[in-house]
């Protein structure tokens, strides 16, 4: 199976002035998605309790994937987001004003290119001329580009079909796409409905959580992030 370790998960803030950061907000709007660390913190109430002690309410907003979350961060609908490392790179290439706050170790084997169990596609090279579903600008977008290059193909050799995870799963199940590039928990959910495209692996080294200076109102409350994540 083609798998890429879940890249070091990043915490990001919308770009704010020093004066704005120095003043504690009444409410912090946090973006999260399925299976990332913020989903765990939301479930445990770790950040809610920490912010509550300072008189700050937490509002949780779910997004289907990192790119959509960072769009929300850029337009100001959320204040804090957690995502993989590819979406911020794409966002900043589009001039998004983001601040990197922290990052966590990589989580191995949580992304893959999958095909239907009865598919004739057995390797990345077999994707030539095929319809491949993925969430544009996400970590799996990077995975696909890298995998194609390793197989001697380019993006022009496939037909990318850009869909959020839920829509991509429906398209995959009805055979509207030939392959799907996806991450957990969606990867785990398809279970026996799929097979792997190849056994090539690519891994990136993780890094310890590191809080950047100059964000006192937010950083102080993220100690729970390390505890909940086991770091």
Q: What is the pLDDT of residues 55-112, one digit of tens each?
A: 889 999 999 888 888 888 888 888 888 887 777 877 878 887 777 777 776 665 777 8
Same domain, 133 and 100: no
Same domain, 78 and 51: yes
Residue 170: which residues within 8 A CB-CB, separation 6 or more? Answer: none
Structural domains of the chain, count: 2
Q: Give the span between the Cα atoms of 167 and 180, in whole angstroms.
A: 11
Whose CA is closest to 10, among 216, 215, 206, 223? 206
Q: Is residue 2 part of a domain?
A: no
Low pLDDT (below 50) residues in the chain: 1-9, 15-21, 196-216, 226-231
Same domain, 164 and 214: no
Other CB atoms within 10 Å distance of the CB of residue 117: 10
pLDDT of residue 194: 54
Q: Give the span between the Cα atoms of 87 and 137, in whole angstroms.
A: 6
Which residue segment(s) compose the domain that 50 sits in?
8-105+207-229
Cis peptide before 2 (omega within 30 of 0): no
Same domain, 98 and 150: no
Q: Is residue 1 part of a domain?
A: no
Whose CA is closest to 82, among 106, 52, 98, 103? 103
pLDDT of residue 40: 80
Same domain, 147 and 97: no
Q: Is residue 122 part of a domain?
A: yes
pLDDT of residue 163: 95
Same domain, 90 and 115: no
Same domain, 101 and 213: yes
Same domain, 18 and 97: yes
pLDDT of residue 170: 92
Q: Is residue 3 part of a domain?
A: no
For residue 60, the domain's CATH number is 3.40.190.10
Same domain, 39 and 24: yes
Q: Is residue 166 part of a domain?
A: yes
Q: Is residue 160 part of a domain?
A: yes
pLDDT of residue 66: 82
Q: Residue 186 in contact with residue 169, Cβ under 8 Å?
A: yes
Q: Residue 195 in contact with residue 117, Cβ under 8 Å?
A: yes
pLDDT of residue 218: 52
Residue 19: which residues within 8 A CB-CB, separation 6 or more? Answer: none
Same domain, 126 and 177: yes
Same domain, 82 and 133: no
Q: Give the span between the Cα atoms of 29 and 61, in whole angstroms.
A: 7
Same domain, 21 and 76: yes
Q: Give the span between the Cα atoms of 65 and 68, in whole angstroms.
A: 6
pLDDT of residue 13: 55
């Amino acid at each position: 199976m083609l798998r890429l370790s879940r890249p070091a998960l990043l915490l990001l803030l919308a770009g704010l002035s020093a004066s704005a950061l120095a003043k504690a907000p009444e409410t912090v709007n946090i973006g999260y998605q399925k299976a990332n660390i913020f989903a765990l913190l939301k479930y445990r109430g770790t950040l809610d309790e920490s912010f509550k002690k300072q008189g700050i309410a937490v509002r949780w907003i779910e997004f289907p994937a990192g790119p959509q979350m960072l769009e929300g961060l850029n337009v100001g609908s959320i204040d804090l987001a957690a995502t993989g490392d590819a979406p911020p790179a794409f966002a900043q290439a589009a001039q998004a004003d983001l601040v990197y706050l922290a990052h966590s170790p990589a989580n191995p084997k949580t992304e893959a290119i999958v095909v239907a169990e009865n598919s004739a596609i057995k390797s990345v090279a077999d994707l030539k001329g095929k319809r491949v579903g993925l969430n544009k600008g996400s970590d799996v977008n990077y995975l696909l580009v890298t995998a194609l290059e390793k197989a001697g193909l380019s993006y022009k050799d496939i037909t990318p079909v850009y869909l959020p995870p839920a829509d991509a799963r429906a398209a995959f199940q009805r055979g509207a796409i030939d392959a799907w590039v996806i991450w957990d928990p969606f990867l785990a959910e398809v279970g026996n409905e799929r097979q792997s495209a190849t056994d090539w692996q690519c891994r990136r080294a993780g890094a310890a959580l590191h809080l950047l200076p100059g964000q006192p109102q937010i950083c102080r409350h993220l100690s729970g992030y390390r505890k909940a994540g086991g770091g």
